[in-house]
Amino acid sequence: MTTPPSPTVALATGRLGVLTVGLGAVASTLIAGVELSKRGLGSPIGSLTQMGTIRLGKRTEDRSPLIKDFVPLATLDDIVWGAWDVFPDDAYVSASRAGVLESGKHIESISDALREVRPMQAAFERKYARNLDGEHVKPTTSKRAMLNAIREDINRFKEEKQCDRLVMIWCASTEIFIEPGRVHMDLESFEKAIDANDETVSPAQLYAYAALLEGVPFANGAPNLAVDAPVLRQLATDRNVAISGKDFKTGQTLMKTVLAPMLKARMLGLSGWYSTNILGNRDGEVLDAPENFKTKEESKLGVLEDILQPSKYPELYGNVFHKVSINYYPPRGDAKEGWDNIDITGWLGYPMQIKVNFLCRDSILAAPLALDLILFSDLAARAGMGGIQEWLSFYYKSPQVAPGLYPEHDLFIQLTKLKNTLRWMMGEDVITHLGREYYEEM
């Protein structure tokens, strides 16, 4: 198979407008973190675009620049923030309310920048997140009117803030579970469904549709249906607008996509994986509704089967009991605690166990992923790469792939794919790790 020619990547000149749908814990932590980094008051730990290096050429060449020096990414100083939310709180109030960041150290010092980010009215209907009750919503529930209003917001923001380019990222609450149906198959049906206020067209789909119509790359931090609906996937390809997967891969699933490939690499068997979490932030409250949790559950359950391929290894993975639950527990706020009990089998079928207890901070893990997705989606746009960006699978619980392909969940394969894509974009050799050349020259 020959490698396709590298694209020409336009330089990142001018301002990059970032529109976050939702200005809650993740979005306010993202904005605060970027503003703190810009002023040298915090370090963007967890962000590959800001801290990662990339090896180029042979191991003997000693060429490993920072990714941000290798590919022409927008700088943090280029970013201009915009948002929508169901609540009118600006990013200062939202960050203070979310309780993720220390107020003295990480909120007050950038209060001016945070106060400037005031959300636009949300396109929202309570039936998609019934545990949310905010008043800062568009004065219509007509889907067509909501779609038009989002498009107007996008264009007004772009003009007012004098942005050269935009990226939209869904950091809003997880909507109820919607399976793609007939209305999601083609543009004609989708347009008709919008006019008929069809229930299966949720606000997330309207934001995503508006983004694609305006040529704005779209990333989805939550598991609800958006650009993964066939109609929007096709539109993104036709209009050459970058889209990627859904649901930030942060805590327990991040662990899963590291541990499960390890079991499979060693041909160790698995009989059960029991995962449970306690979480007390607003995300946890929304997910406390069964219809919203179902969306999350689907996204979390999918990974093991894709990684372990039980049909290929029925003896090792043909009968795995996999359970995931999230329990809303307010005292913990954003500090999520996840437990995993993993029952594995070894040589001759002897049972063993692995226990994982991850005391994490949800938004601290998600913010750097959001930043990378924003900067890489913008990079893809400047490289003329539209449609599904599978190389961004690294960031998602549910990577988006071409129809008929299974997604790659293994974190390190995802990272290799991401870095090879960057090498290819910049005209460098991709790295296969074959490594024969080091021995042939000896």
Ligand X SMILES: NC(=O)c1ccc[n+]([C@@H]2O[C@H](COP(=O)([O-])OP(=O)(O)OC[C@H]3O[C@@H](n4cnc5c(N)ncnc54)[C@H](O)[C@@H]3O)[C@@H](O)[C@H]2O)c1
Give the integer Cα–Cα distance in Å for 114 and 135: 21
Stretch that binds ligand X, among 158-166, 246-254, 314-322, 386-394 (CB under 6 A): 246-254
Nearer to ligand X, 24 or 42 (CB): 24
Count of residues near ligand X by CB under 6 A: 37
Closest distance to ligand X from the beta carbon of 170 (Å): 7
For 54, phi and psi rounded to 5 degrees? -140, 125
Q: Is 218 among the residues that bind ligand X (CB under 6 A)?
A: no
Q: Using CB under 6 A as the criterion, what x/- string covers residues 96-115 for binding ligand X?
A: --x-----------------
Among 365, 411, 418, 425, binds ligand X (CB under 6 A): 365
Among 25, 168, 229, 344, binds ligand X (CB under 6 A): 25
Among 9, 18, 129, 149, binds ligand X (CB under 6 A): 129
Among 17, 42, 44, 203, binds ligand X (CB under 6 A): 203
* Terminal C-alpha separation, the chain: 29
- Distinct helix (H) and strand (E) counts, the chain: 16, 12
What token pair was written down for 149?
Answer: 């209003």
Q: How many CA atoms lie within 13 A of 305 on its CB side?
A: 13
Q: Is 132 among the residues that bind ligand X (CB under 6 A)?
A: yes
Could you give the 3-state DSSP secondary structure of residue 36? helix
Q: Give me the residue whose beta carbon is nearest to ligand X.
A: 24
Site for ligand X in 382-411 (CB under 6 A): none
- Give the bridge partners for 220, in sequence order: 170, 246
Exposed/middle/buried for 366, CB within 10 Å: 0-12, 13-18, 19+?
buried
Nearer to ligand X, 26 or 54 (CB): 26
Among 90, 340, 362, 372, binds ligand X (CB under 6 A): 362
Identity of residue 405: L
Closest distance to ligand X from the beta carbon of 438 (Å): 40
- Give the bridge partners for 17, in sequence order: 80, 166
CA distances from 369 to 115, 148, 246, 301 (A): 23, 29, 12, 21
Nearer to ligand X, 253 or 420 (CB): 253
Torsion over CA: 347, 348, 349, 350 (sign) = negative
Containing H/E element for 397? strand 396-398
Q: Is 173 among the residues that bind ligand X (CB under 6 A)?
A: yes
Closest distance to ligand X from the beta carbon of 207 (Å): 7
∠ Cα 195 156 202 (to 5°): 30
Q: Is 220 among the residues that bind ligand X (CB under 6 A)?
A: no
Q: Is 328 among the residues that bind ligand X (CB under 6 A)?
A: no
For 51, phi and psi rounded to 5 degrees? -120, -15
Site for ligand X in 284-303 (CB under 6 A): 286
Where along the sequence are the contacts to ligand X (CB under 6 A)? 21-27, 84-87, 98, 122-124, 129, 132, 134, 171-174, 203, 221-222, 247-248, 250-251, 281-283, 286, 362-363, 365-366
